[in-house]
Amino acid sequence: MDRVLRWLVWAMGIACVAIGAFHLVLGIASVPGEGTAGATVDSRERFYNAVFLGYGLAWIWAARQSPVPAKAVRALAGIFLLGGIGRLLSLAVHGPPQWFQVPLTVLELVLPPVYFWLADADERTRAATAEA
């Protein structure tokens, strides 16, 4: 399980860095179904995605630790879950988004429990190895 955790943490980090960089560079043009929304929305899109890129770097930092720190994984997964909850709030207030946002919402709600469950796998393996 510890290898699965490390792989998942790396994958999340790389995905978030790639997504953040893509949106940072392209701005609002990177958002499916949005077209142009003006300078203010484009500026906000680029700012938030610089933060998302940094969030991805935090995942990569966690993946590089030995053992992978459970507290960091749980905190980062919790932030991801909050993003999914934010999308649900938007759905409730504004209705359904562009179709591509729906699978993203599902991922943001389904993946965090997996990370919460696996978070201490590397720490447990290291502790068991140290005892033996």
Instruction: Give residue-wise pLDDT tens across range 15-66.
Output: 999 999 999 999 999 988 777 788 998 999 999 999 999 999 999 999 999 9
What's the pTM value of the predicted model, to 2 decimals? 0.91
Q: Hey, CA dihedral for 123, 76, 3, 117, is it positive or negative?
A: positive
Name the residue with higher pLDDT: 110 or 132.
110
| DSSP secondary structure letter of residue 32 | T
Instruction: Give residue-wise pLDDT tens across range 95-112.
Output: 999 899 999 999 999 999
Q: How far, CA to CA in Å, does 38 sit from each of 25, 45, 98?
A: 16, 11, 19
Give Dmax (Cα) for the chain: 61
Distance CA 22, CA 74 (A): 26
